[in-house]
Copies of this chain bind each other. A is one copy, B any other.
Amino acid sequence: MLFRSDNITGVCPEVMAAIQAANEGDAAAYGTDEYTARLGPAFSACFETEVIAHPVATGIAANALALATAMPPPAACLCHDHAHVFGTECGAPEFFAGGGKLIGLSGRHGKLWPEDVARVLAAQDPKRLQAPPIAVVSITQGAEAGTVYSLDHIAELSAICRRHGVVLHMDGARFSNAFAALGCTPAEISWRAGIDILSYGATKNGAMCADAVLIFRNSPHAASLDRWLGHRRLRAGQVFSKMRYISAQLLAMLEGELARRNALHANAMAQRLSAGLRKLPGVVLVEATDINEVFVRLPDAVRDSLARGGFPVTGRPADPGLVRFVTGWNSRATDVDAFLAAASGGKAPGVAAG
């Protein structure tokens, strides 16, 4: 199971401690508690601007709620055709949007490219009733292929969206891995680059079940995006009666830049793994290892070695020759080294030394 996903990791100690600390006495229900009251200010401080925070418990809920509020019926969303929202959420955005349509575009390195987005938006004819109006563009950061969008890339996409009155959404399931990789601030990678609404992911990065939809108040779409989003969350079963436990997780991630620390560690472990794999004969690194994911093609010899070493490898459903490894906040360098040793057919040095 090693490096299969960052979803397999447990809860990091700081978050678990926060959950336990929140378990003191009674607290007002349904998000009227003191922990939840602190969420807005904490996110605003983190992002250096006023942020409206809508906590939820899964990334799918965050994405589906964000897109649903951004694409009221009968509007559509433009996204990458490898995007999680497009193909890996069982139609959640379509469902939450009351039958909305996602339009998938291909694009190299798992990214949407400005020229493609500009072309599609420019070709929209508001009088042509047969095509749903595109009201939101969704990008994933870190992107679909373990890559990251540069700040300029996002800013270019945003400029196009703003020109067309279209919302720019970021699926930030691995948001912290991305800003950690770019060495920039959460602000720079989001609203400063023109993001209007963000699915902020904490679960993969060490939380238990805590993500959030963040709306930047300075977005020209903020008022319409935020209108009734609380009600939407409740009717989606995402307003928790004991909300304090969700909010405490998010507060812990923001405290002392825990999110960045966890992400930096995961990214570093991916670099170590990527560097090691690239040295093996026949291994092809398919995409740059920008964050905590490694996309490679492995020769049979390496696959066999890994299987013999107890690390059977499964390819991507749509492309079995392609393998994705994911590191997490809790990945250990010794495990990376043992894995690499197995891949090379030998003993792991670290293990041998142990």
Contacts and interface: CB of A to CB of B under 8 A. Distances in A.
B91 A241 contact: no
A232 B57 contact: no
A89 B123 contact: no
Question: For chain A, which range describes its interface: under 10, 10 to 19, 20 to 34, or 35 or more residues?
Answer: 35 or more
A266 to B, nearest CB: 13
Interface in A193-247: 203-204, 208-209, 228, 230-242, 245-246
A293 interface: no
A235 B26 contact: no
Scoring A89, A91, A232, A241 by chain B CB atoms within 10 A of each residue's CB, the highest score goes to A91
* This protein's copies in its complex: 4
B30 A132 contact: no
B90 A245 contact: no
Contacts of A314: none
Interface of A: 1-2, 5, 7-11, 16, 19-20, 22-31, 56-62, 64-65, 68, 72-76, 87-92, 94-101, 123, 125, 128-133, 203-204, 208-209, 228, 230-242, 245-246, 317, 330
A276 to B, nearest CB: 20
A293 to B, nearest CB: 15
A33 to B, nearest CB: 9
Given A92-B237, A242-B203, A1 B19 contact: no
Contact of A228 (B89, B133, B238, B240): B133
B131 A87 contact: yes
- Going nearest first, the 10 A-B pairs with the smallest beta carbon separation are A98-B98, A61-B237, A95-B99, A7-B29, A7-B241, A90-B235, A129-B234, A91-B101, A8-B26, A60-B237
